[in-house]
Structure 1
């Protein structure tokens, strides 16, 4: 089992989940070392041929936060910051071209981390522009900052097994403790999915 969160619908969205506790005082970066970043890239079929450096870790963290801001802007139907659009274009500049190898037509490994980031950026552009397979949504659990691709139009949580169960348990406990304990309008999801910022 992978130590990294996945299941958000695209690797670039799984990248956003590598910063745990995004809206809390204490955060944990699950790709904060060169070894962790290489492991995450390997888990997402993006392991580069070149070594992963400390500078790569810093660039990926910067790219992750840029992509998160762009996704939030898309969800909230706001104009993205010009600096984020410029950084997204710089990420796309790192594209070394996609080639396939062997009879199974697997994409070749990225040359370096910038090449891997360019592939993630390319995925992001498709989803951010509304041309992807689903709709970007924020997890309905108040304690989660994940953003996922909803291909059904009914999905409420990034993962039903953790966030969905947590939200249902909280809603059940509020119902069981009576109306005095239930906040007005509370139904186990946040009133504004990104209000935690």
Structure 2
């Protein structure tokens, strides 16, 4: 189902990028059409805020997603980010206190607001984009997708979407057959 969330990209911040599918195609798939869907995505990402999620939060989530996309693709393509791209991410990196509790396992307190949840995602993205994990980032070669995913083994060619892999394999088969003719 096209409205299903992609939670298999390798990290929550990468999953946020996947909330808009086929981003570079003629008919992108918006998986965050409402504040309710954002709340659902945050819950699945274990980032449920204590405060209700609003339409303004939805706008901020989409802004963060689209601020992260060129930074992630730039990291994959080994391109330096622009000052504006860095500034857009830095605006979300508000200081957030960490409250831990030792229960059945180590727990971190829920974010008080959606903005605090976005700050956690932005921190995770900044850690990936500035540290050694940036070398694990790959972009799907399907031109309408270009989904960024984590590939620590360095062996994957396409994003986790079966559709992208299938289209790529079919195209490769057709090219081989054309070459044999």
Other-structure match for 2:96 = 96
**TM-score, normalisation: structure 1:** 0.82
Q: CA RMSD in A?
A: 2.2
Q: Answer yes or no: is the 8 Å Cα contact 1:66–1:84 preserved in 2.
A: yes
* Alignment partners' CA distance in 1, 2:144 and 2:23: 10
* Alignment partners' CA distance in 1, 2:29 and 2:142: 18
Give per-residue Cα distances to partners, 1:48-97, cap 9 Å, x unaligned.
1101111100011111000001111212222212122112111111x422
| 1:106 CA displacement | 2.1
Aligned with 1:156: secondary structure?
A: coil
Give per-residue Cα distances to partners, 1:77-130, cap 9 Å, x unaligned.
22212122112111111x422222333212221111111111111111111113
Q: Answer yes or no: is the 8 Å Cα contact 1:30–1:36 preserved in 2.
A: yes
* Alignment partners' CA distance in 1, 2:180 and 2:169: 18
The unaligned stretches of length 5 or more in structure 1 are: 182-197
Structure 1 or 2: more helix by fraction: 2
State which drifts further: 111-120 or 100-109: 100-109
The unaligned stretches of length 5 or more in structure 2 are: none
* Alignment partners' CA distance in 2, 1:99 and 1:155: 37
**TM-score, normalisation: structure 2:** 0.89
How many residue pairs get matched?
179
Aligned with 1:49: secondary structure?
A: coil
